[in-house]
Structures are given as C-alpha cells and as structure tokens.
Structure 1
Amino acid sequence: MGNPKDKTRQISLTDKQTHRQTDGQKDRQTDRQTDRQTDRQTDRQTDRQTDRQTDRQTDRQTDRQTDGRTDRQTDRQTFKYT
C-alpha cells in the first residue's frame, strides 16, 4: 500500500484546485452580475436623458407653435383694427 502522507498530499492539492476553481467561478459570476447591473443602470440613465431631451424638444416645438399662433392672431387683430 502507498504512503498515507502521499494520499493526504493529493487530497489537499485537489481541495486547493477545487477552491481555486470555485473562487474563479464566483469571481466570474460576480463580474457578470456587476456588468449586468452596470448595463441596466446605464440603460436607465440613457433612457432618462433621452426622455428629458425629448421632453425639452417637445416643449420647444410647442412653445414655437404657440408663439407662432399668438403672433398670427395678434397680426390679424391688429390688421382688422388698423
């Protein structure tokens, strides 16, 4: 039969390899989760910025249209009374 110390040494080496593999897998999973969370946050921020920009553009267009209508009405009224 083999030396019992050799078997113990083999088992401890196997345990270390298993721990390294497990740690590596955990690290990869954590990295993936962090990447996904970062992506989601970035997407949300981008969506919010896009929404704000769209709102501003819509507001500006609405303001321009309202100003244009008001100007035209004022011009018509002024022309009638002149």
Structure 2
Amino acid sequence: MEKEEKEKEKKKEKEENKKKKEKEKEKKEEKEKEKEKKKKEKEKKEKEKKEKEEKEKEKEKEKKEKKEKEKEKKEKEEKEKEKEKEKKEKEKKYKEKKEKEKEKKEKKEKEKKKEKKKKKE
C-alpha cells in the first residue's frame, strides 16, 4: 500500500512539475512576444520619425529653390530694366547729337546765304 502511495505521490509531483514547466514556458513566450512587439513599435516610430524628417528636409529644399528662383527672376528683371534704360539713354543722346548737327548745318546754310547776299550787294 505504501508503495502505491509513493507512486501516486511521484506521479502527482511529476505532473505538477510538468505543469509548472509549461507555465514557465508560456510566460517566457509571452515575454518574448511582448519584447518583439515593443521592438516593432520602436522600429515603426523610428521609421515614422525618419520619414517626417525627410519630408521636412524636402520641404526646406523646395522652399530654398523657390526662393532662389524668385531671386534669379528679380535679378533678370532688374537687368532688363537696366538694359532698357541704357537703350533709351543712347537713343536720347543720338537724337540730341542729330539735333545739334542739324542746327549746325542750318546755321552754316544761313551763313552761306548771308555771305551770298553780301557778295551780291
């Protein structure tokens, strides 16, 4: 009878140990799952952060390029205005020169006529 009791006890103990090991295994697996989950979460956050930074960089780059283009456009317009101004200035000088030459010529003509008239008399 005692032998049977011992056998039963042994069996029970074995069973309990098995259950205990099973529980520990489950606990461990749960812990691993949690760890993996946290890791994935972290990676996801990192990825999102990186993407956000990339977008910001891109935005900044576009902003800079736009500013640069605006600057170039403005400079081009300024140059055009300057060119136009110089052109008008040249035309004005040319007209004045022509006008002076015309006046000179007319004066000469007048003088000639005067001389002719004087000679005639």
Normalising by structure 2, report the TM-score: 0.63
- Deviating above 6 A after TM superposition, structure 1's stretches of 4 or more consecutive aligned residues are none
**Deviation at residue 24 of structure 1 after TM alignment:** 1.0
Bigger Rg over Cα: 2
Percentage of pairs with the same residue: 3
| 2:91 counterpart residue number | 50
Root-mean-square deviation (CA, aligned residues, Å) is: 1.2
Distance 1:32 1:25 in 2: 10
1:70, CA displacement in angstroms? Answer: 1.0
SS at match of 1:3: helix
- Structure 2 equivalent of residue 30 of structure 1: 71
For the residues of structure 2 that align with 1:30 and 1:9, how far apart are their CA atoms?
A: 31
1:24-66: per-residue Cα shift (whole Å, max 9, x none)? 1111100110000000111111111110011001100111011
* 5+ residue gaps, structure 1: none
Counterpart position of 1:4: 45
Unaligned residue ranges in structure 2 (runs of 5+): 1-40
In 2, distance between residues paired with 1:41 and 1:25?
24
Aligned with 2:76: secondary structure? helix
